[in-house]
Amino acid sequence: MAPAFGARDRLGLGVAYVDLASIPEASAASSALRREIVLEGTLDWPLGEALSIQPDVQYIVDPGGTEAARNALVLGLRVSMRL
């Protein structure tokens, strides 16, 4: 059974692109650095007045700006409790 999503739930989507070749300090350090792309999705899901969970998923293309590193899938979970 899928969880029901309500009016207080918040969905977040994001994209980040960094052109490392345009940063003089990065270019001087290594000519192999080029770009990094991050795609992210998250959902803030309140479980009551004082508790919420927020799963997060990121997919990183060319981590560190190099093709030598494999693309990365990063999963996270934040739990927030208000006292």
Q: Structure tokens of 31?
A: 């000519």
CA nearest neighbour of 16 among 71, 74, 55, 61: 61
Are β-strands 10-19 and 51-61 bridged in parallel, bridged antiparallel, or unpaired? unpaired
- For residue 43, CA distances in Å to 14, 39, 51, 63, 64 come to 12, 14, 14, 24, 26
Percent of the chain past pLDDT 90, that is, above it, reads: 47
Give 38-70 pLDDT, tens digit per residue: 999 999 988 888 999 999 999 999 888 877 889
CB atoms < 10 A from the CB of 33, how many? 19
